[in-house]
Amino acid sequence: MDHGNLNEIVTLLAAAVVIVTVFRRLNLSPVLGYLVAGGMIGPFGLGIITDLDSTRTIAEFGVVFLLFVIGLELTFERLKAMRKHVFGFGTLQVVITGAGVGWFVYLLGISPTLSLVIGASLALSSTGIVLQILAEKNDQSTQVGRLSLATLILQDLAVVPLIILVPLLAGDEAQANLMLLDWLIPALKLQPPTLGILLLDSLLVAALAIGAIFVVGMRLLRPAFNLVGSLGSQELFTATTLLVVLGMAFLTAEAKLSLALGAFVAGLLVAETEFRPQVETDIRPFKGLLMGLFFMTVGMSIDFSLLVNEALIIFGLTFLLIAYKAIVIIMLARLFGFRRGPSIEAGLLLAQGSEFAFILFALAYQGGLMDGFLAQMILVIVSVSMAVTPLLASLGSRISNRLDRKKRPSRLENEELEQETVDLNNHIIVAGFGRVGQTVCTLLAAEDIHNYVAIDHNPRHVRQGRNEGYSVYYGDAERIDILQSLGIARAKMVVVTIADREHSVAMVECVSKHFPALPIVARAFDRVHAKQLRDAGAKIAMAEAFESSLLLGGQILRMIGVSDVEIQHVMTRFRAEEYPASLMDGLLKVGNSDKA
């Protein structure tokens, strides 16, 4: 009986479960676990799987889903808020690092074309490993976390043109065929196209394909998800999500572009709809499993015996790569106004190679641009740099803490506080970090919104919050100079959760006086306090006593047999008498989405 590739798939899954479980127990990156698992069962290990072609097709879909998830997280609002550090800091980091690495390998005798590919590939950092470390330490909302996220976003964006560029650079220019320019300019058919013409032709085709997908996608995507969502079938919704991802990947492949590019564009489109959270939840298991298989196929193709035979060269080059990338990031961070501690910590955290290097070098090798030995050497160097990242992150954290030991981060002067928040733009300021303020920040983090900063005058609240990874600082929220140090002129809104009536009203008056156009959302103790806050300038003031009374009353009505529809109607009527129409519209939308 022919089982096809079932033996290979079972072997891959068994190796992944065993090895990655061990790595998880040891608090090591699962990416490294997949690489080691692949190396053990591959042709350079135990030789259980020798035919890599049977697994590469499955692994390619892992890259497709990874690019889709990256696009899904890049909302235009998010890019706008972080544009300075995404497109400023991130671009400079990729260009300077790529140019330096490319120049170094060129001096070693590598061709200019291949030097460009190697430099650009090694300029990238590992999105998977860095985000995992930040999540484990709960540091996404810290300055290091925000800077790392901005850098990774730009690097992820840079991968898209690189995936298009590398096959072009690896192709035979004399044999290459134009897809668009020879139709627009017939004279180009009379001579072999140059590399510049090929690149221009590919960019035009990519722009047309992406433009067409955006136009069609924006018109059809939301209605399609609305229709499927209204049917209430989870299986059908998941199937629709897979159809969107794979369908758009198929369209870009038909335009002779990469599968991953179509998936990335699909993610960007879905990110602008209200269905993003559900789609992200549905797609995550597919992305995680297929990406694991991708890393295992990479591990199978790595000859880890090189690590033994060429240990001195590999560790030496790995050290140079990490040191150079760290120095570039540290210098750029200082140039952008970051303090020494966060700059060093971010530099060491982002100094490793990227999982995308495996993709780009595989494309270069398959196109004949890179020989097998060089590809193996660089892949081992990237793997080693990824393996030592947890140690580098721990070292960076210790150095940062030691530099800030004399000046506790919870008690920064105005100038230092301004440096700590220099990367924030279009952000949220939370004044008060008691139980309500912490809940607000927790909700923001749960929605992957880390573009906020909190302030509190209680050192215990601040210390506890910072230990748990929140971006909170010590200070008096009623002082305008403190608020200016928090970047209030660049803020999107202010949330006042101060646990004191007089101080909360005073702060709202202060903010509304100096920044009358800035929206203020305030927590009130009761209806009288809510009116005082609205009179002081708060756009929204929520009375917690009123809300808790409504919720308690709703539960009582439910226990005595009143229907949920009637309870909702009564609560809506009471809220309408208490809150302005604009707030009621928002509450009704939330209620309707909860029902759906």
* Structure confidence at residue 184 as a pLDDT band (50, 70, 90): low
Task: Using DSSP, state whether 449 is helix, strand or coil.
Answer: coil
Query: Which of 401, 497, 514, 407 is CA-nearest to residue 452?
Result: 497
Global confidence as pTM? 0.71
pLDDT at residue 119, rounded to an integer:
92
Q: What's the average model confidence in pLDDT over 574-596? A: 52
At what angle are helices 30-41 and 6-25 packed, to 10 degrees?
140
Query: Each residue of 66-115: pLDDT tens digit?
Result: 777 777 777 677 677 777 888 889 899 999 999 999 999 999 888 888 88
Query: Which of 518, 510, 430 is CA-nearest to residue 472?
Result: 430
Query: Each residue of 130-168: pLDDT tens digit?
Result: 877 787 777 777 778 888 888 888 887 787 778 777 877
181/174 Cα distance (integer angstroms):
16
pLDDT at residue 589, rounded to an integer:
47
Query: Which of 40, 463, 493, 76 is CA-nearest to residue 271?
Result: 76
Contact 444, 113 (CB under 8 A): no
Q: Quick one: DSSP state of residue 88?
A: I
- Bridge partners, residue 543, by sequence: 524
Would the pLDDT of 118 be above 70?
Answer: yes
Would the pLDDT of 473 be above 90?
Answer: no
Q: Quick one: DSSP state of residue 369?
A: S
453/431 Cα distance (integer angstroms):
9
Contact 470, 441 (CB under 8 A): yes
Q: Quick one: DSSP state of residue 85?
A: I
How would you label 293-330 residue by residue, b for 16+ Cβ within 10 Å and e otherwise? bbbbbbbbbbbbebbeebeeebeebbeebbebbbebbb
Per-residue H/E/C for 288-312:
HHHHHHHHHHHHHHCCCHHHHHCHH
479/364 Cα distance (integer angstroms):
58
378/118 Cα distance (integer angstroms):
9
| Bigger pLDDT: 332 vs 557 | 332
Would the pLDDT of 60 be above 80?
Answer: no
Query: Each residue of 429-462: pLDDT tens digit?
Result: 898 888 888 888 888 877 777 788 888 888 888 8
Give whole-number Cα distances, 211 to 185, 205, 214, in Å: 22, 10, 5
**All domains of the chain in start order, with CATH:** 6-395 (1.20.1530.20), 417-562 (3.40.50.720)
13/38 Cα distance (integer angstroms):
10
